[in-house]
Amino acid sequence: MTRNDQPRRVLIVDDSAFMRASLRHIVGALPGFTVAGEAKDGREAVEVIRRDRPDIVTLDIDMPLLDGIGVLRELRPVPGTAPLFIMVSAFTTAGADLTLTALGCGAIDFVPKASEHFRTDLAQVGDLLRSKLAIAGAVLAGQDGRSRPLPVAAPRPSRPAAAPPAGVTTAGVPDVVVVACSTGGPQTLPELLRPLCPCPVPVVVAQHIPPVFSRSLAASLAVSVECPVVEAEDGKPLAAGTVHVLPGGFNGELVRLRPGVLAVRLTEGGAALHRPNADILFRSAALTARRPVGIILTGMGCDGTEGARALVQRGCPVLVQDPATAVIWGMPRAAIDAGLASEVLDPAAIGRRVALMTGRRE
């Protein structure tokens, strides 16, 4: 159960009666969670949230009177503090763009749906929503590797790892930077990339994200970071000064086309739980690149830890986000606990540190 053995209270916000009933059934059947109420438009949602103070809100984007983005802008949520917002958005390019805007406005995560008529996809939506609720519950309970009181305290100053892995050196100019992130990644990546970009070497990002959304993420980052950000293409040479976001639903391995030129080989198969998978990307970087640098940011679970181990065994540095600054601290904490973090810093400090490694000057 959750804190004080009380179930987490979930408010369902959607203008579709069918959708509200479907989500009510999913939430009501999930141990540790209970439906706290419903709202059929954004204006009603704001009133109910302020009055009833739910723990979690599932929030539609396209609604009358006030849309989901408007709700977030009016309430100004802080990720990590109740209520946590999980967007339920259309699985389209327009829906993906709006979802990423919602994440930038304070939503913690999202569940894509195929369209407004998606009865045949309810099983998949249910599986995704249950996993996202579990993540939200972990954030509120201070679980996933360590306890953390709520509301989240101000981030502590960046600090070095307790003991950098033996044999790892930050000397030498990298030829590629590989990045792992999951929940909280779309909000955190701009913090990392602004001080890093334009990076003199290619940057490859494994962000756990569905298809379509990765293309919108690349476009959003390009505007935010003001440097080239593209969705990686199979076999196309990686360009210096460019951030390459692995497409959702695919794994990406680095391959060497010729001396000094790397590319990404995209695959759909494999047993990896998350696609794009950071362990696969990191291991391929350790095998293929001359001097890769790994970065692990916010996310649930431990993806990236085994790949980081391969980088460390090569003597290559792995910079890890300070868990105190992460939306979800599971992935950073897993790498730190495994003794694989060369340095533990906030995202902007990681960006500045890697910029120095690459020889970039302001």
Q: Enter the tokens of residue 16.
A: 């579709």
276 prior amide bond cis, ω within 30: yes
Q: Could you give the CA distance from residue 274 to residue 302 in angstroms, rounded to a whole number?
A: 11
The CA distance from 70 to 28, in Å, is 27
Active site residues: 182, 208, 303
Helix (H, G, I), strand (E, B) or coil at 241: coil
Q: What angle do CA 321, 247, 121 make, to 5 degrees?
A: 105
Q: Please name the residues in contact with 32: beta carbons below 8 A apart, sequence gap of 6 or more.
A: 1, 2, 7, 8, 137
CA nearest to 262, candidates 292, 283, 230:
292
19: amino acid identity, one letter: M
Tokens of residue 296, six digits: 């692990």
* CB-count burial class (<10 Å; 0-12, 13-18, 19+) for 278: buried
Give the number of residues written for the chain: 362
Beta bridge partners of 253: 265
Handedness of CA 76, 80, 81, 86 (dihedral sign): positive
Does residue 43 contact residue 35 with C-beta atoms inside 8 Å?
no
